Chains A and B, each alone.
Chain A
Amino acid sequence: MDHRPQAWGRPRDDVYGAYDASYLHSNTPKTATQSPVVTGTSVVGLKFADGVVIAADNLASYGSLARFTDVKRLRVFLDSSVVGFGGDVSDMQYLDRHLNELAIDEAYDHLTPDSSASKTASLNAANLYKYLQKLMYARRNDFDPLWNQILVAGLDGAQKPFLGSVDLRGTSFTSPSLATGYGAMLAQPIMRRVAATEEDAARLTREQAVDVVKECMKVLFYRDARSLDRYSIAVVTKDGIELKEDEQLEKQSWAFAERIRGYGTQTV
């Protein structure tokens, strides 16, 4: 009989065999996203006098296959900011869950004694942008990036319109107008025509800004093969967020296609 205390209560090797500890160390190497799989295309955002407009279509592509046609890529944070995701959809969903947790923690922290969450003291869009930048940068440092480019739209600490972008390497920047993916080539020139500077953007009305963004979505649908004519659009102002998640592109004209070889019925 073994009376040593370290043997107490343990299964005996001669009866049960040695403990198989192999499951404790996995043999497979650590995995990380090496390239995006199911992807969302452009997100576009534009500031105006007292808010920000942001839009993204509802398509998630699997390579060139239009795989999921009802995916919402705009997400509301704490009823005060909107985050738009381009890039890998599973990473987007991970971030969505993560932001949910963050929002819950933040809401708990700001419960006032009369048990109503005070609206003034919580994470604004500028804070959220900074946080996401830190998150994305930390993941790139681990060589395990979240394969997204993100736009954050809302208001900053001074209640001024805020629009910022963060990508999978943690590169972050702000601008009166922003667009991810193909939007950077196709939509940015259109938006910069009306909002080249912050001052220009501050003169735009809400209606003008929405019209320009809708125009951008149309151009993107015409020219970006991985896009869809159903999209989400959100307007963020002091008064809150108006998010529409199932918009249809209006007033499309394919007349230009008549003159392009390869579109439609070929007559020559």
Chain B
Amino acid sequence: MFRNNYDNDSVTFSPQGRIFQVEYAAEAVKQGSVVVGIASKTHAVLVAIKRNAEELSSYQKKLFPIDEHVGIAIAGLTSDARVLSNFMKQQCLGHRLTFGRNMPVRSLVDMIGSKAQINTQHYGKRPYGVGLLVAGVDESGPHLFEFQPSGMTEEMVAFAIGARSQMARTYLEKNLAAFAACGREELVRHGLKALKESLVQDKELTVENTSVAIVGLGKDKDGNPKPEPFKVFDGQDVNAWIESVADDKEAAAAEGAEEGMDVDG
């Protein structure tokens, strides 16, 4: 019987040059329900499918605020995500305390990247079993970053991670060109449409299982740049968005467009 001898720890390469523990951690990300993130020139949004373990239980939170200007979407082990979330929160508070500004999103993501990498190179440590999408705004505009258990981080225009996320990514790739110019609402709708692509047969977006989070550039009352704070929407607050991407609505809109909005009852 074949047994893999190179997956007992994360410090040993296989002869093919792979580190199996890190790859297994990446598999844990795929066990988590799907999350989608998109960034435009003015906003970054995260949308997620929440899962309940059984009919009687509540739904697991997927979107977490970190600071005024950043938040994360998680796929994988929620408890590992909380460790990273707390760490990011502390870093943002510390940065604000010493410099009096929002922490640049890239610096923040780089820090969790280095933190996660350490776990892949020390004996007895375990890589984080969670992937993140980090959405935020800073002086250089809105950003979306992907984070993987390997410590890999990368800036994205739009991305999806978690179970069946390939379908969502395909949708995002198809509509890539449109995102940059999208406004707040339009961006959320694109996110939800991508999310729907990844749904299992005869499952639908409901107010119970859908989460939306938005962060964007804004202005204060004096017209100075000030971020529209990262805010998570759940329950009835997401109803209007879900309805706006419902299949029949879409079909009607598509038909309407073809027939010059001239639909008879």
- A residues contacting B by CB (< 8 A) are 109-110, 112-113, 118, 120-123, 126-127, 130-131, 134, 157-158
Contact = CB atoms under 8 A, between A and B. Distances in A.
A46 to B, nearest CB: 23
Given A126-B100, A130-B99, A134-B97, A157 B224 contact: yes
12 contacts: A109-B107, A110-B140, A113-B155, A120-B140, A121-B138, A121-B139, A123-B99, A123-B101, A126-B101, A127-B100, A157-B101, A157-B139
Interface string B95-119: 0011111001011001000000000
Nearest to B220: A158
Contacts of A123: 99, 101
Contact of B99 (A118, A120, A121, A131): A131
Interface in B198-246: 222, 224-225
Contact of B139 (A113, A120, A126, A131): A120
On chain B, which size bracket covers the interface? 10 to 19
Contacts of A110: 104, 140
B224 A134 contact: no
Contacts of A158: 222, 224-225
A118 B107 CA distance: 14
Given A109-B104, A110-B104, A157-B224, A134 B140 contact: no
A109 B98 contact: no
A110 B139 CA distance: 11
B136 to A, nearest CB: 12
Contacts of B140: 110, 112, 118, 120-121
B interface majority secondary structure = mixed
Contacts of A118: 140
Nearest to B138: A121
A77 B95 CA distance: 19
Contact of A121 (B100, B104, B110): B104
A109 B105 CA distance: 10
Contact of A134 (B98, B104, B225): B98
Contacts of B101: 123, 126-127, 157
Contact of B98 (A113, A126, A131, A157): A131
A110 B98 CA distance: 18
A126 B224 CA distance: 15
Interface in B97-152: 97-101, 104, 106-107, 110, 138-140
User: Which residue, A112, A121, A134, A158, has most C-beta atoms of chain B within 10 A?
Assistant: A121
A109 B106 contact: yes
B139 A130 contact: no
B224 A130 contact: no
User: Which residue, B99, B104, B107, B138, has most C-beta atoms of chain A within 10 A?
Assistant: B99
Contacts of B99: 123, 127, 130-131
Nearest to B223: A158
Given A109-B106, A123-B99, 10 more contacts: A110-B104, A120-B139, A120-B140, A121-B139, A127-B101, A131-B99, A134-B97, A134-B98, A157-B101, A158-B222
The 8 nearest A-B residue pairs measured at CB: A130-B100, A121-B139, A121-B140, A158-B224, A127-B99, A134-B98, A120-B139, A127-B101
A97 to B, nearest CB: 19
A46 B78 CA distance: 53
